[in-house]
Amino acid sequence: MSREDRVCIIGGGPAGISAAMYLEKKGYENYEIYERLNKIGGKCYSPKIKVFGEDRTYETGAIMGAKTYFAVHEVEEFAGVTHEGGPNMRRMYRDKTGKEIFPFDIKKDITPKKVRDLLKLKRQMKKLVQIMNTKYKGYDCYGHVGVAKGEYNGLSKEVERPLHRIKGTNPNLKDLALPFDQFCRLNGVEEVMKIWIGPYTSFGYGYFDEIPAAYVMKYLDTTTAIEFINMRLWTWKDGTQSIYEAANKKLKHPAHLCTEVVKVERPENAPIRVTIRDEAGERVEEFDKLLVTTPLDHFVKFADAREEETELFGKIIHEKYVDFIATFEEDEGPTISGYIFDNMTPDRLGHAMVYYHRWEDLEENCPCTVYALRNHMGSPDAAYEYTIKTMEKDMKKCGFPVKERLYEQESYYCPHVSPDDYADGWYDKLDAMQGKQNTFYAGEILSFGDMEDTCASSRDIVGRFF
């Protein structure tokens, strides 16, 4: 690998922008980033909306981080952006009828059963922290290489010494391929799902009977989970998109916007030919290396994919996460974010699971983002229109009649593989393919569908292969 190599980065989301940053830090300056949209940040999209004559940012995609966002912090520092001064995260809980509930409050609606249940939950949370640090030692690194074989090998998530490589053997790690609900039952900690479901399922990452425990525990490692529980979360005043926009401006070669990669040809012993389409039309650019940060199951459709690429990437599953930003009838909106716990199980597909109230000072006149999942492995999808209508009805039940939807979207969200494919070593097969035909794979699938795991994966790939 030479620092003079021409590197093509496909995608200007967190993975692509952070990969360029890490390449520059390593002395690679001969790269180009192609982004098909007219904006940087991918699923970090923070549009400005005028309310009472004042423009403020709202979030349609990523909202928050925590003190365990080590790689995102490196991007922040490079970009000159800070999470200090972002709006506070505050929340309450509701049931499916819209009524306020207090599932974790030891002072409200107290009964002997509730006290017993809360004590049991506390004991099991303690047990989970303990087994993750002992029985599952090594679980808390980015990525999944080796896990299916009972090994760990990745950048550490330890607060004391993050982002250094840890490596070892621990046969118990194979359990992480199990769906999270089975993993919890196996370890006698099923009560913890009541807590983990909030930041996990409501944020669109899937249901606990279908998602390998590895994704849950690597995202909500015990430190991050405790930060969530105590609401010590990072947000960005100008939105998460501002991190990547500012970082892009600091790069020696900012991304080419409105430039879609439509074809990739990788002939033997010759440069990689990348066909790009922009407003001037189509043209071919030549590169020595390719760094793919866009969905790999999409990549095989526009690249000269090898059979093993088509087969492996064909196994990727993604969530269908729907959200809209809504205004409410005057003085009738929420004044704080809410979790609707009853709606976080597959029988409630298409129902609103969470709503995000961003600006405390705007009180009930603050536009809010409302979120729902419409797919579950083994069930028919909830139709998109049904989902939107159901989300509006759920908000009304909570007492918040939607006046207007200002923005709505469905995201290709949280790419992952099934428990069986995980156990079959999907990630080891992917790792063995890194570098073949001078192609490197990065982005959300590498570790987890959040900003931190995505940026850390870019750091890892650049560190190992460039």
CB-wise, 58 or 328, nearer to ligand FAD?
Answer: 58
| Least separation in angstroms between CB 233 and ligand FAD | 9
**Does 451 help bind ligand FAD (rule: CB under 6 A)?**
yes
74 contributes a contact to ligand FAD by CB under 6 A: no
C-beta closer to ligand FAD: residue 2 or 230:
230
Tokens standing for 335? 């004044």
Cβ proximity to ligand FAD: between 31 and 187 the closer is: 31
- Please give the residues from 27 up to 66 whose contact with ligand FAD meets the rule CB under 6 A: 34-37, 42-44, 61-65
Establish if 452 lies at the interface with ligand FAD (CB under 6 A): yes
| Closer residue to ligand FAD in complex, CB, 41/184 | 41
293 binds ligand FAD (CB under 6 A): yes
3-class SS string, the chain: CCCCCCEEEECCCHHHHHHHHHHHHCCCCCEEEECCCCCCCCCCCCCEEEECCEEEECCCCCCCECCCCHHHHHHHHHHCCCCCCCCCCCEEEECCCCCEECCCCCCCCCCHHHHHHHHHHHHHHHHHHHHHHCCCCCCCECCCCCHHHCEEEEEECCCCCCCCEEEEECHHHHHHHCEHHHHHHHCCCHHHHHHHHHHHHCCCCCCCCCCEHHHHHHHCCHHHHHHHHCCCCECCCCCCHHHHHHHHHHCCCCCECCCEEEEEECCCCCCEEEEEEECCEEEEEEECEEEECCCHHHHHHHECCCHHHHHHHCCCEEEEEEEEEEEECCCCCCCCEEEEHHHHCHHHCCCCCEEEECCHHHHHHCCEEEEEECCCCCCCCCCHHHHHHHHHHHHHHCCCCEEEEEEEEEEEEEEECCHHHHHCCHHHHHHHHCCHHHEEECCHHHCCCCHHHHHHHHHHHHHHHC
Residue 125 interacts with ligand FAD (CB under 6 A): yes or no? no
Measured from the CB atom, is 42 or 162 closer to ligand FAD?
Answer: 42
> x/- contact string, 178-217, with ligand FAD (CB under 6 A)?
-------------------------x--------------
| Residue ranges in 259-278 that form contacts with ligand FAD under rule CB under 6 A | 260-261
**Does the protein bind ligand FAD through residue 242 (CB under 6 A)?**
no
The least CB distance from residue 276 to ligand FAD, in Å, is 8
End-to-end CA distance of the chain: 6
Question: Please, which of residues 428-447 interact with ligand FAD by CB under 6 A?
Answer: 443-444
Shortest Å distance, C-beta 47 to ligand FAD: 13
CB 288 within 8 A of CB 466: no
- 449 is an interface residue for ligand FAD by CB under 6 A: yes
Nearer to ligand FAD, 192 or 291 (CB): 291
The residue among 120, 96, 75, 33 whose CA lies nearest residue 339 is 96
Footprint on residues 321-360 left by ligand FAD (CB under 6 A): 321, 323
Instruction: Work out which of 16, 138, 143, 146 binds ligand FAD, going by CB under 6 A.
Output: 16
Rounded to a whole number of angstroms, the minimum distance from the CB of residue 236 to ligand FAD is 11
454 counts as binding ligand FAD under rule CB under 6 A? yes
The smaller minimum CB distance to ligand FAD, of residues 187 and 387, is found at 387
Question: Which member of 7, 11, 89, 460 binds ligand FAD (CB under 6 A)?
Answer: 11
Q: What track of x and - describes contact with ligand FAD for positions 395 through 434 (by CB under 6 A)?
A: ----------------x-x---------------------
> Residue count at the site for ligand FAD (CB under 6 A)?
35
Given the complex with ligand FAD, which of 72 and 398 has the nearer CB atom? 72
Q: Does 292 bind ligand FAD (CB under 6 A)?
A: no
Distance of CA 380 to the CA centre of its chain: 24
- Look at the block and give the residue holding tokens 């010759």: 270
Residues that bind ligand FAD (CB under 6 A): 10-16, 34-37, 42-44, 61-65, 203, 260-261, 293-294, 321, 323, 411, 413, 443-444, 449-452, 454
